[in-house]
Amino acid sequence: MARRGGRRLAAVRAETASGTVQIVADPAREGGRVLLVEGTVAAYVDLADPTHLALDYVRRMADAIDALVPRGAPLAAVHLGGGGFALPRHLAATRPAARQEAYELDPEIVALARTHLRLRRTAALRVRVGDARALLARRPPASCDLVVRDAFAGTTVPPHLATLEFAREVAGRLRPGGVYLVNAVDAPPFDGLRAEAATLLAAFGSVAAFGAREVVRRKHAGNLLLAASPAALPVAALRRALATGPHPCDLLAGDAVRALAGGARPLRDA
């Protein structure tokens, strides 16, 4: 337990549809809170500073968004998966004019975030409870600049959010030049990552993959992030933005992403 003003901060524990969820204080940072689902770190939120992103993959996502959609540009964003809502909170803090929706399947997760992680109802950030695919389908075509998929059931992506049919649904909701940003997690032999790459290559005109060097080179398990767009991605700007962080990061684009897919077939609803 961490202390605040000499007072111990008790961990929060709840049984939800997602499993056992805990929110624990970071003893090294007064406002830091860690969200664990079934004992696995699912999110880190800084209550005092939403721009502080402690998890390296979330920091990379935020850096990538800055390269893909400059901060001065309008932003309509949809987040598939809520969890601790760290990235939506970061974007709300750094882009006050942004309009965001976050879709979270588990209502108890949302309730915990509102009670213990200072998730607030605002006109700029709407949180909707329900299946992300069904909720996204209700949005008008060409209504998003950014769609972020960071949804998991345990350590796996819900299958219906990883198919070619769904990727095409996402593409239909993006404005010209819009971006689909995907968080995927896999381990050797990385069949899941290959299928994810193949699926996005079949649905979008431009795809890049990036993450920790050892994951991109398929030596260790971890998070691989993929950015996809109907238009050409600003690969040079993306590479520069990702080179500034504290963690080594590799980026693949063009033929290198096709090599990552390695002949895998796109995932299908059927």
Q: Quick check: 10 pLDDT over 70? A: no
Q: What is the pLDDT at residue 5? A: 44
What integer is the mean pLDDT of 99-113?
Answer: 96
Strand-strand pairing, 144-149 and 125-129: unpaired
What integer is the mean pLDDT of 132-156?
Answer: 94
Q: Quick check: 4 pLDDT over 50? A: no
Give 129-138 pLDDT, tens digit per residue: 999 999 999 9
Task: Please report, for residues 71, 78, 270, the alpha-carbon distance to residue 147 in angstroms, rounded to integers and kept in the order given.
Answer: 16, 5, 24
Q: Does residue 220 sit in helix, strand or coil?
A: coil
What's the CA gap between 26 and 9, in Å, rounded?
10
Helix segments in 51-106, DSSP class H: 56-68, 86-94
Q: Regarding the domain delimited by 49-261, which CATH topology (the fold level of the hierarchy) does it fall under?
A: Rossmann fold (3.40.50)
Q: Quote the tokens at residue 264.
A: 């895998």
Instruction: Please compute, for residue 11, the number of CA atoms within 13 A of its CA located in the half-sphere on the CB side.
Output: 14
- Residue 262 backbone zone (phi > 0: left; psi -120 to 50: alpha; other: beta): left
Could you tell me what percent of the chain has a pLDDT over 70?
A: 96
Is residue 148 within 8 A of residue 157, CB to CB? The reply is: no
* Range in 6-15, 133-142, 186-195, 197-206 with the lowest mean pLDDT: 6-15
What integer is the mean pLDDT of 209-218?
Answer: 91
Q: In the predicted model, what is the mean pLDDT of the chain?
A: 93
What integer is the mean pLDDT of 151-178?
Answer: 94
Residue 189: asked if its preceding bond is cis (omega within 30°), the reply is: yes
Q: Quick check: 7 pLDDT over 70? A: no
Q: What is the pLDDT at residue 2? A: 41
Residue whose entry in the numeric block shows the structure tokens 């504290």: 246
Domain boundaries, the chain: 49-261
pTM of the model: 0.94
For the chain, how far is it from start to end, CA to CA, in angstroms?
Answer: 47
Q: Quick check: 81 pLDDT over 80? A: yes
Could you tell me what percent of the chain has a pLDDT over 90?
A: 82
**CA 8 distance to own-chain centroid:** 32
Is residue 162 within 8 A of residue 198, CB to CB? The reply is: no
